[in-house]
Structure 1
Amino acid sequence: MRVLWASLIALLLAAFPAASQQFTTLKGHGGPVMGIGVNTSTGQVATASFDNSVGLWEGRTPVWLEGHEAAVNTVLFLNDTRLASAADDFSIILWGADGAVTTRLEGHKGKVMDLGVSPDGGTLASASWDGSIGIWSLENGARRFLQGHEAPVNAVSFGHDGRLFSASADGSIRIWDVETGTSRVLINQGFGVNRIVLAPDLSWLAYGAVDGMTRVIDPEEGHALYDFSLDRRPILSLAHHAQTGQLAVGDGHGYIMVIDTQDWRIARDFRAMQRGPVWALAFSADGQNILAAGLSDVVYSWPVALLDTFDPAGQAGRSFLRDPDEMPNGERQFMRKCSICHALTPPPSRKAGPSLYGVFGRKAGALPDYPYSPTLETADITWTDETIDALFDIGPDHYIPGSKMPMQRISAETDRDDLIEYLRKATAIKEN
């Protein structure tokens, strides 16, 4: 009833665009959405997904940008005609206005988790789990890698003066002189720092950490200014809208906290997701809506002014969000180990992995139009009860070394048997 009432309110207020925006959803990705970017000039939205793709949205209609070979973690508008994305395939892609790959930036040796662009628009910085920060010229492609953190780097942000701030799983936030490559530790808070947001005027820096710390500090000296830590962890996403002074915080419990940075108070604390974390956050260009994504393949956009009237998203539930206790064991194993990447329906699919429809008796790497790894394309494997059992018994990285399949093991033989029985029925080709 609350959702219905909120929807009616939103529809009524939609007649007055200056006062409100509507609740909307962006649907079409084949896996969880890991990052959201908003073009502050045009309002256009871009999304980065576990399905290896970037979605570029015109209203609620997507154009799919395909080029990455693994989950895409972040997306960033460089200007009105240029977009950058970074992924688990260790690469960064620069996209043109027509959605074509214009440049692929390579050199990292680990997942690339975040991107930042310099104030003059000429330099891109990348945060990687290889422990380095990539510095890329957007004019000639020249690259450098800054070393200093002792663990994966999760986030980067440029200040208006050209200095770079970075956050790492080593618990530290560093300040870098990009020209010289030198840095100093601003703080070391003990637990990994996942996200940072820097005020445009460099008056404050906000960070969110693994232990649930949500703090605002002085970006020169590192001393604490404000603490908004609650009993929820980890902090997984941050977003700032400078014109309206809103700072949003997303956590592992599915909440979005909105902080008013003009008087530094919690303006709203909203249970956004029925289940799971808030992976990605962004404000609409005008700051009236907040966009968020979690475990499902949907991006939700709520009017900030009406947040308190909505129930958590995802109550209807995608199949992979159902209660495991409601499923037979074979289906439960599939949902836990396979459903994020693989569809059971005939191709095409927007999932990151190939469809499993008709998989029994099919040669590995043989589904038309799917970009398999060279390892799988040349593997002498046919999918049967025995080969699927072996795949999950020792894990893909041992059974087919070099494939793109993530490490997944099912150690109990009875669980593997139940999975195979479920797949036999669920993937069977249906006669017309």
Structure 2
Amino acid sequence: MTTPRRLRACPRRLRAWRLALPVTALLALPARAEAPMRGHGGPVRALAAAPDGLTALSGSFDQSAILWAIEDGTALRVLRPDDGAVNAVALAPGGRMLTGGEDGRVALWSRDRPEPETLPAGHQGPVVGLALSPDGSRVASASWDGTARVTPLGGGAARVHEGHRGNVNGVAFLPDGRLVTAGYDGTLRIWAGDDPPRTIALEAPLNAVAAAADGEIVAAGADGVVHLLAPDGRPRAAVALPPSPVVALALSPDGRRIAAATIAGAVALIDRAQARVLFHLAGPGLPVWSLAFRSDAELLTGGGDRLVRRWDLATGEPIGPLALTRPPDPLAAFAGDRGAEVFRACAACHALTPDAGNRAGPTLHGVFGRPIATAPGYAFSPALKRLAIVWNAETIAALFEVGPARYTPGTRMPEQTIAAAADREALVRFLERATRPAP
């Protein structure tokens, strides 16, 4: 067990279960002052905090978003978009909420309607980032279809920004209304009306971007470097947080500090003016996927432990009693098994046992001999339900030989292949043992 601590500046630097509790149970949860916000059944992928600091909205790989009362940690409302993980959230004026997710849609929710309005964003791939314009009238969405789109909340067609070679992972608005996009192609692009964008090539794929009230741009990505750039894109400074990729950024309300989260689980607090690390927040060693400042004095984090945590930025300590225990390793019993090691890349999305339930993907318990798209309790896409595949040693091996996109068109499974035939065979043999129902 690791005790949370404040670390002085130093050189070191997935999808999940459906929500286990029904809405009524979540709303009935007792107040837990100064406790983590519990309720998601999977990693917390996105966070946004209201300007008044009273509420926060979180999105999760468990295919839900939750509106929280921050102070007592209770769930005020649970939102369920049509399909897939909720990768991005934003809070709009008038108590409205925005969600963007795996299905490529951006949804606008109001306080008095149970069902959302689907905005005409029209993405052909997962939405992974949202940003509200300075006047609150438009939302920008970043998508793995290679585009960013700006959609009026009051109605009207979306403006499409194309040009990135690959995933667009982040969007932000500058104070003057220009749009900034960050891409997996390692470029930052600044868009003004119909003019061609200004393109700034950085050294690694970019995962996140934010913009300060004075127009300075903050971007970071796979190399663990936080870049600070002028409003016209000219580099000003860089802060290195290697070796872990930075996956989320947030700016304090006063703009003086940057929070940068890494996939290794650490969060760096950076003095923006001086471009130096002030200290690190040390969590349980699990990925931190999302950040939001509640105020200049408090930070919210969400990550692989399925919790929304609160941090006192005056001390660098967690607020409330936080048990930072790492969840048990479901593969510990298979130490030394090559197939189990290959399966580790799948463990964030698929459980092996019946009691673990469905995650972002269905449980694999009893998968051998099961027709595709028939695991109980999981919402499969219509495209998968039309396929005539029965899972066995041959079909599972073929899935990873050619890749999910080719073998199971219409799947939401991340694209991945296993090049070595020996590794594919080891994975299949492991799954035969680990998913076999008890006699």
Provide TM-score, normalisation by structure 1. Answer: 0.80
State the AA in 1 paired with 2:210: V
Q: Residue 145 and residue 218 in structure 1: after superposition, are their counterparts in 2 closer, same or farther (change >3 A)?
A: same
2:168 aligns with 153
Q: Which of 196, 202, 214 is matched with 1:189 structurally?
A: 202
Are 1:199 and 2:186 an aligned pair? Answer: no
Deviations 1:149-174 (A, max 9, x none): 34432222112222222222333322
Distance apart, 1:80 and its partner CA: 4.5
SS in 2 for 1:296: coil
Whether the aligned pair in 1 keeps the contact of 2:358 and 2:378 (CA below 8 Å) is: no
Q: Which of 167, 170, 173 is matched with 2:185 structurally?
A: 170
1:18 aligns with none
1:53 aligns with 64
Q: Which of 308, 311, 314 is matched with 1:305 structurally?
A: 314
Q: Which of 264, 268, 292 is matched with 1:282 structurally?
A: 292
Distance apart, 1:100 and its partner CA: 2.3
Are 1:317 and 2:331 an aligned pair? Answer: no
Q: Residue 106 and residue 255 in structure 1: after superposition, are their counterparts in 2 closer, same or farther (change >3 A)?
A: same
**Which piece of structure 1 moves more, 260-269 or 122-131?**
260-269
**CA distance in 2: counterparts of 1:396 and 1:118, whole angstroms:** 37
Are 1:115 and 2:130 an aligned pair? Answer: yes
* Root-mean-square deviation (Å): 3.5
2:96 aligns with 82
SS in 1 for 2:315: helix
State the AA in 2 paired with 1:3: T
Q: Residue 289 and residue 375 in structure 1: after superposition, are their counterparts in 2 closer, same or farther (change >3 A)?
A: same
State the AA in 2 paired with 1:290: L
Q: Residue 401 and residue 150 in structure 1: after superposition, are their counterparts in 2 closer, same or farther (change >3 A)?
A: closer
2:224 aligns with 212
2:282 aligns with 271
**CA distance in 1: counterparts of 2:4 and 2:266, whole angstroms:** 21
Q: Residue 367 and residue 325 in structure 1: after superposition, are their counterparts in 2 closer, same or farther (change >3 A)?
A: closer
Q: Residue 416 and residue 151 in structure 1: after superposition, are their counterparts in 2 closer, same or farther (change >3 A)?
A: closer
**CA distance in 2: counterparts of 1:160 and 1:252, whole angstroms:** 29
Aligned pairs (5 A) from 1:184-263 = 184-185=197-198, 187-202=200-215, 204-220=216-232, 222-224=234-236, 226-243=237-254, 245-261=256-272
Are 1:372 and 2:394 an aligned pair? Answer: no
Q: Residue 403 and residue 314 in structure 1: after superposition, are their counterparts in 2 closer, same or farther (change >3 A)?
A: farther
Whether the aligned pair in 1 keeps the contact of 2:45 and 2:59 (CA below 8 Å) is: yes
Are 1:421 and 2:433 an aligned pair? Answer: yes
2:29 aligns with none
Q: Residue 41 and residue 309 in structure 1: after superposition, are their counterparts in 2 closer, same or farther (change >3 A)?
A: closer
SS in 1 for 2:258: strand
State the AA in 1 paired with 2:79: L
Provide TM-score, normalisation by structure 2. Answer: 0.79
Tell me which structure has the larger Cα radius of gyration. 1
Q: Which of 28, 40, 44 is matched with 2:55 structurally?
A: 44
1:16 aligns with none
SS in 2 for 1:3: coil
Q: Residue 360 and residue 241 in structure 1: after superposition, are their counterparts in 2 closer, same or farther (change >3 A)?
A: same
- Greater length-normalized contact order (CA 8 Å, ≥ 6 residues apart): 2
Are 1:92 and 2:106 an aligned pair? Answer: yes
**CA distance in 2: counterparts of 1:157 and 1:243, whole angstroms:** 17
Whether the aligned pair in 2 keeps the contact of 1:132 and 1:146 (CA below 8 Å) is: yes
Whether the aligned pair in 1 keeps the contact of 2:84 and 2:102 (CA below 8 Å) is: yes
Whether the aligned pair in 1 keeps the contact of 2:209 and 2:218 (CA below 8 Å) is: yes
SS in 2 for 1:165: strand
Q: Which of 116, 137, 147 is matched with 2:152 structurally?
A: 137
Are 1:293 and 2:312 an aligned pair? Answer: no
Distance apart, 1:37 and its partner CA: 1.3
State the AA in 1 paired with 2:183: S
Identity %: 31
Q: Residue 219 and residue 404 in structure 1: after superposition, are their counterparts in 2 closer, same or farther (change >3 A)?
A: closer
**CA distance in 1: counterparts of 2:196 and 2:399, whole angstroms:** 45
